[in-house]
Amino acid sequence: MAAYNPRGDLDYIGHVGTGTGWNTALLANLATVLAPLEQPTPPTTGRAVPRADARDAHWVRPVTVGEVVYRTWTPDGSLRHPSWRGLRPDKDPQEVNVDKL
């Protein structure tokens, strides 16, 4: 996951796993939405993706917004315990700023 910082750079803010709210239909829908957006490298221009998180990642262009709930921020700038809620087609990625989370 990523969000824009006050300078306009896209910062890595952590990853979200499948959790308990996922099912086959949701995964299939998400794959359909994200497959055309796939790219070979992370789209972040600010805070880099840690190597451990990048190992199994699939990168997409930052044109969709996903909603997650989380507990707090970690000291290194990631979301703690993020849980997937769904896509937000009503939101523009530029609206997702680290200072608003």
Residue-level pLDDT at 27 = 85
- Mean pLDDT value of segment 22-40: 90
Percentage above 90 pLDDT, the chain: 53
Does this model's pTM top 0.85?
Answer: no
User: Quick check: 20 pLDDT over 70?
Assistant: no
Angle at 55 between CA 53 and CA 57, to 5 degrees: 75
DSSP calls for 9-41: -EEE-------SS--HHHHHHHHHHHGGGEESS
Task: Look over the chain and give the mean of its residue pLDDT values, rounded to a whole number.
Answer: 89
